[in-house]
Copies of this chain bind each other. A is one copy, B any other.
Amino acid sequence: MKENSLLSDLAAHLFSNSSGNGRTPSERELAEHFGVSRGQVREALAILEAMRIVERRAKSGIYLTTTEASVEAMALFARAGVPLDPILIYETVELRKIHEIKAAELACDRATEENYQHLRDILGASEAKLAAGEGLAREDRDFHLEIVRATKNSVFHRVCSVYYVMGEHRLPIYFADPARSRRSHEEHIRIYEALLARDGNLAQALMSAHLQGAESYWKGLIGGPATAAE
């Protein structure tokens, strides 16, 4: 990964080192802290400002945004390992349900052989991972995104691909349980078969049930005291 580590490190640092009014250290302090030039810090801050994570007030300082940050911002935090508000995870799952049930329906009408081939490839990779006793985080994401891609609506895909990465640091936990991984994989297979049969109603129903499992899981984690082993 050649990811911009300064960006995520900086984001994490700003949240840990901001005063009560949301004011963060100055550009000069940040530059010194990270051992880079002010220019580098300003470049990163420009991105963070575009993501509405911070607000730069001329001659005053840098402040954490009080209003809603962008979805990109949430994804950045997820990558940076910043703990995400559980509420946001739940909301994300809810949004996924809205997106993917519809995507499954549309994909039944519009999926091409290329999409089917990709899905088969992903299922094959999943099988291999399962056999090796590994988690399916990456394959899960790929499978679901490929269905969105099969809707042939690129805006739909752009929107989904942004917030799907949010789960990248959560899914490993979810798929740590081999039984859950296996069940999820089998549900994927059935969804694939429904897509192949172009049975819109069935695909929707299967997708709904599939995501319901994830929703209950996260709801359980968020809701009562954490009883699940982690």
| A interface residues with partner B (beta carbon < 8 Å) | 7, 39, 42-44, 46-47, 50-51, 68-72, 74, 87-88, 91-92, 94-95, 98-99, 102, 109-110, 153-159, 161-163, 229-230
User: Is B154's CB under 8 angstroms from A68's CB?
Assistant: yes
Q: How far apart are the CA atoms of A91 and B157 in the complex, in Å?
A: 10
User: Is B155's CB under 8 angstroms from A95's CB?
Assistant: yes
Q: How far apart are the CA atoms of A227 and B195 in the complex, in Å?
A: 20
A71 CB contacts on chain B under 8 angstroms: 155, 158-159, 162
User: Is A98's CB under 8 angstroms from B102's CB?
Assistant: yes
This chain: copies in complex: 2
Q: A50-B72, A87-B154 are in contact. List 13 more A-B contacts (CB 8 A).
A: A42-B43, A43-B46, A46-B46, A50-B50, A68-B158, A70-B162, A72-B72, A88-B154, A94-B156, A98-B98, A98-B102, A98-B156, A159-B163
User: Is B46's CB under 8 angstroms from A44's CB?
Assistant: yes
Shortest A4–chain B CB gap in Å is 8
A72 CB contacts on chain B under 8 angstroms: 50, 70, 72
Shortest A79–chain B CB gap in Å is 12
Contact of A47 among B47, B109, B161 (CB under 8 A): B47
Closest to A97 in B: B102
Shortest A112–chain B CB gap in Å is 10
Which of A70, A71, A161 has the largest count of B CB atoms less than 10 A from its CB?
A71
User: Is A70's CB under 8 angstroms from B153's CB?
Assistant: no
Q: How far apart are the CA atoms of A51 and B47 in the complex, in Å?
A: 9
Closest to A153 in B: B91
Shortest A43–chain B CB gap in Å is 4
Q: How far apart are the CA atoms of A163 and B158 in the complex, in Å?
A: 10
